[in-house]
Chains A and B, each alone.
Chain A
Amino acid sequence: MITFDTVGMRYGNGDEVLKDLNFTLEPGSFHFLTGASGAGKTSLLKLLYLSRKPSRGTIEFFDTNITNETRMNMPKLRRRIGIVFQDFRLFDHLTAFENVALPMRIQGAKEKLIKEHVSELLSWVGLDARMHARPPFLSGGEQQRVAIARAVIAQPDLLLADEPTGNVDPEMGERIMHLFAELNKQGTTTVIATHDEGLVKTIGAPVLHLHNGSLSLDLRGK
């Protein structure tokens, strides 16, 4: 379970970009995160993927209060999170296979298992013929699928995706959302930041809506 209690966040001495956030993400829940540009979506995602700590308030993350957590304990918590970045953030010198394999290697999985799982997942997202290509030689859509595969390969407890279907065709977008839904069914808490109203309506999940740093919960999809 992830709980935000009166969380505020600011960069340096600037104004608060997130104000008094109070919400709980139950294990296995599925939420969309929406809001206009500058509403604070990226900042909220940064808090969720433990890139930053709140300026005030407390965040309970899988029974751990991360507000006072030491740096040393953060890697263990971060391994429970899968992130799809809007700009993909792939390593250009590594192949699609090696990029996707990274989370499993970080967790110390056996090479045989890594080969098996990564190949299967890359085939599933339609990249079986491109798994040894490096990101500069992949299209935007292919890179996005590699980024998604990397985020889900280690079956995270929390999946965060920032515009995950932004660069793929509708059919692939549907496949990706299906993948997310499958993971969610297996207990992965999922938060997807999107501008795509159509996607929100199709899936019909509750929406965390940010407006000027404040959050409201829209249960229209439920």
Chain B
Amino acid sequence: MLKPLLNFLPKNQKGHGLLPWVIGVMIYLSALALFGGLSLHSGLNKWSSGLSARVSVQITAAKEVERREETRAALGVLSATPGVKNARLIADTEVMALITPWLGDVKDMSGLPIPSLIDVELTNANSIDIEALSVRLKTVAPHARLDDHQGWMGEVLILATTLRTIAMLLMGMVVLCTIAIVVFGCRAGLATHKDGIELMHLMGTTDRVIAREFDRSYLVYGFKGSIGGTLLAVITLIALSKLMANVGEGLLTNISPDQSLITALIALPIVGTLLTLWTARLTVRRALKALV
């Protein structure tokens, strides 16, 4: 049970009304940073993990007859390779759909040397030796080019790591700012109530009891600010998610709140409140030791 307070601090401390607002803004920024970092990171991970267990084979022979023969031979090699779950020749219509954005809606493609594309699904990302498979393919289909997407996925990984690092840095800065604001607020509070604190000391109050009064005040400030900031962030994130869903297929559909973000959002007000409380507690106790 909470011990009763001596109430020597006025309930509405001058200048402290802004503190919950500032803490709220910090929590809001933290939530956005978390959303940005976690969602984009998990979205890119989902996207790249979808590709990590896939390879594609292009047969780029210029003559159609040659291309068809090499394609059939390549499919044969792929089907016989352990670790390959499925090898599917992409239909011409699908290939056309893929290149239409670059070439436009061309009616007659007969003159164009469109390569054959084989989508290969692996049992897992490390189930085959890419180098060996590439050599085997070359023996039956000299125009075959195996692409395991490693170059592109490497770039994605760097981007994901960079985004996560930026989000963490942003979170760190927000935490430091929150600590600094609470420390300034505490010092201002101590300065404002210096006479009252001295009087309480002279009447025999211990530092612990005096600090407890500050603890309660800052617990309330921290809680109000954290809850307010989190609620505003949740509203913003829901609106953002809806806007992203409306954009349609693509990268944005993969960027959506996942379990880790929901957990983080639940933890955020608790962390914000505790951070405020502990910062105030340390600042006040340290300052009290310097008094009479």
Contacts and interface: CB of A to CB of B under 8 A. Distances in A.
A172 B8 CA distance: 28
Contacts of A102: 6, 8, 200, 203
Given A51-B292, A52-B292, A91-B196, A78 B7 contact: no
Interface in B184-216: 195-196, 198-206, 209
Nearest to A101: B6
Contact of B6 (A78, A81, A106): A106
Given A71-B289, A94-B7, A103 B204 contact: yes
A75 interface: yes
Interface in B77-118: none
Contact of B205 (A49, A71, A83, A106): A106
A162 interface: no
A93 B10 contact: yes
A94 B206 contact: no
A76 B204 contact: yes
Interface in B1-44: 4, 6-8, 10-11
A89 B292 contact: no
B36 to A, nearest CB: 44
Nearest to B195: A89
Interface string A31-66: 000000000000000000111100000000000000
Contacts of B292: 51-52
A98 B9 CA distance: 13
B11, B199, B202 pick with most chain A CB within 10 angstroms: B202
B199 A106 contact: no
Nearest to A77: B204
A94 B203 CA distance: 16
Contacts of A92: 10
Contact of B7 (A74, A89, A98): A98
Interface in A98-117: 98, 102-103, 105-107
Contact of A79 (B8, B10, B11, B204): B204
B203 A106 contact: yes
A91 B204 contact: no
A72 B289 CA distance: 10
Contacts of B11: 93
Contacts of B209: 106
B214 to A, nearest CB: 16
A105 B195 CA distance: 19
Contacts of A74: 201
A99 to B, nearest CB: 10
A102 B210 CA distance: 13
A218 to B, nearest CB: 28
Nearest to B206: A75
A79 B7 contact: no
Interface in B266-292: 289, 292
A106 B206 CA distance: 9
B202 A50 contact: yes
Interface string A174-199: 00000000000000000000000000
B201 to A, nearest CB: 7
A28 to B, nearest CB: 21
Contact of B202 (A76, A78, A91, A107): A78
B51 to A, nearest CB: 65
Nearest to B3: A108
Task: Please indicate which of the listed interface residues A52, A74, A79, A91 has the most CB atoms of chain B within 10 Å of its own CB.
Answer: A91
Contacts of B8: 91, 94, 102
A97 to B, nearest CB: 12
Contacts of B204: 75-81, 103, 106-107
B187 to A, nearest CB: 20
A106 B200 CA distance: 9
B202 A83 contact: yes
Contacts of A107: 204
Among A50, A75, A76, residue most surrounded by chain B Cβ atoms (within 10 Å)? A75
Given A93-B10, A102-B8, 16 more contacts: A51-B202, A52-B292, A75-B206, A78-B204, A79-B204, A81-B202, A91-B196, A92-B10, A93-B7, A94-B7, A94-B8, A102-B6, A102-B203, A105-B6, A106-B6, A107-B204
27 contacts: A50-B202, A51-B202, A51-B292, A52-B292, A75-B201, A78-B201, A78-B202, A79-B204, A81-B204, A83-B203, A89-B195, A89-B199, A91-B8, A91-B196, A91-B199, A93-B7, A94-B8, A98-B7, A102-B200, A102-B203, A105-B4, A105-B6, A106-B200, A106-B203, A106-B204, A106-B209, A107-B204
Q: Report the 10 A-B pairs with minimum CB-CB distance, sorted nearest first.
A: A79-B204, A78-B204, A93-B10, A75-B204, A75-B206, A106-B205, A89-B199, A51-B292, A106-B204, A103-B203
